[in-house]
Structure formats: structure tokens, C-alpha cells
Chain A
């Protein structure tokens, strides 16, 4: 089973700063099948990045994804107030077919 470990658990930053979120896999993950989501309280997750580096429709270009193999990163170049939320990475591949990281909470400092 592929386990995704996200770090840090909580990230405290101010608007305008750069955020770097990490997702590490216990085994190699196909870059084609690594995604990132944003979830705000009381809302369903929203797809931000698919295929490790492709922005989903309507996602601002301050969000970017990178990485390959076992190490992936979500970067938010300049934080806006609406970016403070919980972020999850997710992989598709080995059994179980889909797994999520435990999440990183991005909070206002």
C-alpha cells in the first residue's frame, strides 16, 4: 500500500508570503497520477493540480505543482486571504487504488 505523508502538519504564514507544501510517497508514484486538493471548512475538496504539475480549470497561476517519484510539492507563490485552508495530496495507482495524504493545514500567522 502506498502511503502519502504530508508535511508540515500545520503551516503558519501571512498573506503575500510563499507557501511550500510537501507530499512524500512510500513508493514511487506515477507523476501522471498525483493530485492536490484544497478544502475549506464545510466544503467539498476542490481539485487544484493533477498530473503533478497541471492546474485544473479556473485555478489561479499562483498555485503550482512539481515533483516526481516519491517527492512532490505544492507551491503557492503569494498567499491570498482565501488560500488559507487544508490541502491534500492524492495518488492513483497501486492497491488501494487511490490514497490521500493526511493533509496540511495552512493557517494565517
Chain B
């Protein structure tokens, strides 16, 4: 079964970038469709983007286009999400999750990113 383990919490200043990792075990990255979802404190879930196997492309939610980059390193079985030009509103828990039948399962444990001056 797929297991996803994410990197630890980060504290960043406004304007900086953050890169969150998600290590996969149980399957190879090429067999999976990896996505990223975030959750601001006390708020709901927000899809940021992910790999679309139908198109063979990584798609990003319009809200994050130009600021987010999702990559994969198959040699280390690790997916990455980098978000740039951070602002306080980007303070959130960031989750990786694999797409399965249009849903997300399983999920990583989450990475808290705090943006504060």
C-alpha cells in the first residue's frame, strides 16, 4: 500500500519560498498521480494542483498559477511542492495525496508552513 511521509514544519518570512517534500513508499512515483491540498488554520481544504494522468501534465489551480511548482524525483521516490512569494495568507498545513478514482487516498501527514515577519 502507498505511504506518504512529508517533511517537517517550516517558518518563512513574507516574500520567501518554501519547498515541501513528500516521500513515497509502497509504489513508485510513476505509478501514482500526486496532488497537493492545503488547509489554512480553522478553514477547509483547498486543492492546489497535481499530476493529471489523462493529459500527462501537472495542472495547477488558477489561484496558484505562477507561484507554485510541483516536481518529482523518481530516483528518491519524492515529490515536491514549492510555493514562492509567500504571504501571511499562505500560512497553512500542506498535504500531499495520491489521486485514486477521482478522490484522494492516501494523504501525507501534513506540513505546517508559517509565514511571519
Contact = CB atoms under 8 A, between A and B. Distances in A.
B101 A97 contact: no
Best-buried of A44, A50, A100, A102 by chain B (most CB within 10 Å) = A44
Given A35-B102, A44-B107, A51-B101, A98 B35 contact: yes
A90 B104 contact: yes
Interface string B55-96: 000010110000000000000000000000000000000010
A72 interface: no
Interface residues of B, number: 24
Contact of B102 (A51, A88, A95, A100): A51
Interface in A79-109: 88, 90, 92, 95-103
Nearest to A50: B103
Contacts of B47: 96-100
Contacts of A45: 45, 95, 104, 107
Given A33-B102, A44-B109, A50-B102, A100 B61 contact: no
A100 B108 contact: no
Interface magnitude class on chain A: 20 to 34
A19 B37 CA distance: 27
Contacts of B109: 44
Nearest to A98: B47
B26 interface: no
Interface of B: 35, 44-47, 50, 52, 59, 61-62, 95, 97, 99-110
The 3 A-B pairs of least Cβ separation, nearest first, read A33-B102, A35-B103, A92-B102
